[in-house]
Amino acid sequence: MNTRGIINTSAVATGAQATGVVEGSMVTLAIDGRVVTARPGATVLETCREAGVHIPTLCHDPRLEPYGACRLCIVEIEGMRGYPTSCTTVVAQDMAVTTTSETLRALRSDLVELLLSDHKVECLTCEASGGCGLQDLAYEFGIETSRFEGAKHVSEVDDPNPLIARDPAKCISCGRCVRICDEVQGCHVWGHTKRGFDALPDTPSSVSLLDAGCEFCGQCVSTCPTGALTDRVGRFRGRRWEVTWTETTCGYCGVGCAIEFATKGGQIVGARAPLDKGPNYGNLCAKGRYGWSFAQHPDRLTTPLVRRDGELTPATWDEALSLVAQKLAAIRDEHTGSAVAGLASAKCTNEENYLFQKLLRAGIGTHNIDHCARL
């Protein structure tokens, strides 16, 4: 996770001492007349957000390197020409930053209108409605319709994959899908194609994601600020304001990724990862993001089953565990522990797998232990 923007805001420069950081290692600057301290190397945007100062963005994601494509995070900096992007500008000692003014608001509003001029506005049925960055900014600047007219991109993508829906007519060319696929996943599935108005993120030769080597981790969906990339599995199953998000730990392996499940009517309809929680900090693999249908599958076992008179019948956990213990002990006593083998699960934590091998080695007396490292 990018930690350059971890700062301590204060009304005075001596606030650096309160954090236990050597005062000389901190950078002091003014943001809208308020003095704050930041670590060297932090960007103006990171410093402002840590200080609670709102700056609109569309191309920024804390998991990615600064990009400056959307230009919405422009600010005024004393002594600097033009309007630099705060996401790519590093803080400097005694820097004076202005984040809001009539000029900045007008420039940002024009940028949002330009994006809307080439955007398919179907908020009533868009899966991103309620969580769309462009929609939020249109509301923030009070934009109902765009003054700018011209050609528009069309939604003509034939991609039959079962997990990720693509709609280029809603793309704003922020590049976040390209960057997260390159910088975080290292898959390079997405890339900038063509030139000028026709330039949009796309797969090589515009092939489907199934043919492009996509791992279907959903990282591109997680970072997309609009409805250009959305999850098919949760489509039309719950709007953003209709679902309840519950934070838990992913149960697919022993890494212990933080994950949040969206539920509606007692059913899971989606998954995401919080950006501020480790060890994954917003990232999920394909199984974590999309492999949750087993939780509500009709064939899922919800109670232990014990075979009685040749038939599997429901039993309590005490009954099932006692029966397993009796059978294993009987095999060990009759044929020695080497007649028993154990296969651990990759879905268990490291601690649980340690206890499992301890049970097999110390309790039963066998070294016939293996581990399924495939999920």
Q: What is the domain-level CATH number for residue 272?
A: 2.20.25.90
Closest CA to 8 of 80, 338, 28: 28
Same domain (yes/no): 22, 96 = yes
> Which of 59, 84, 100 is the last residue before a domain boundary?
100
**23-32, 86-95, 169-178, 315-324: least confidently modelled range:** 23-32
Query: How does the average pLDDT of the chain come out, rounded?
Result: 90
| 52 pLDDT tier (thresholds 50, 70, 90) | very high
Same domain (yes/no): 275, 316 = no
- Domain assignment present for 162: no
Tens-place pLDDT, residues 231-278: 999 999 999 999 999 999 998 888 889 999 999 999 999 999 999 999
- Domain assignment present for 190: no
Q: Which residue has the higher pLDDT, 144 or 18?
A: 144
- Quote the CA–CA distance of 130 and 121 in Å, as a whole number: 13
Res 375: pLDDT: 55
Share of the chain above pLDDT 90, in %: 76
What does the block give as tokens for 137? Answer: 């900014």
Same domain (yes/no): 309, 294 = no
**10-19, 54-63, 179-188, 210-219: least confidently modelled range:** 10-19
Tens-place pLDDT, residues 77-123: 999 999 999 999 999 999 999 999 999 999 999 999 999 999 998 89
Same domain (yes/no): 291, 366 = no
Q: Is the pLDDT of residue 20 over 60?
A: no
- Domain assignment present for 140: no
Res 12: pLDDT: 30
| Amino acid letter, 242 | E
- Beta-ladder partners of 103: none
What is the full DSSP assignment across 254-283?
A: TT--EEEEEEETTEEEEEE--TTSTTTTT-
- Domain assignment present for 363: yes
What integer is the mean pLDDT of 159-165? 93
Residue whose token pair is 């007008």: 106
- Domain assignment present for 262: yes
Same domain (yes/no): 246, 276 = yes
Same domain (yes/no): 272, 324 = no
Burial label, 269 (beta-carbon count in 10 A; 0-12, 13-18, 19+): buried
- Domain assignment present for 122: no
Residue 349 lies in domain: 305-372
Res 11: pLDDT: 31
Same domain (yes/no): 294, 270 = yes
Same domain (yes/no): 18, 92 = yes
| 154 pLDDT tier (thresholds 50, 70, 90) | confident
| 374 pLDDT tier (thresholds 50, 70, 90) | low
Same domain (yes/no): 37, 63 = yes
- Domain assignment present for 180: no
Q: Which residue has the higher pLDDT, 15 or 146?
A: 146
- Quote the CA–CA distance of 294 and 301 in Å, as a whole number: 10
Res 68: pLDDT: 93
Res 337: pLDDT: 94
Q: What is the domain-level CATH number for residue 39?
A: 3.10.20.740
What integer is the mean pLDDT of 55-71? 96
> Which of 266, 300, 334 is the last residue before a domain boundary?
300
The total of structural domains in the chain comes to 3
**14-18, 50-54, 104-108, 330-334: least confidently modelled range:** 14-18
Same domain (yes/no): 244, 295 = yes
- Domain assignment present for 213: no
Closest CA to 209 of 220, 198, 199: 220
Same domain (yes/no): 80, 28 = yes
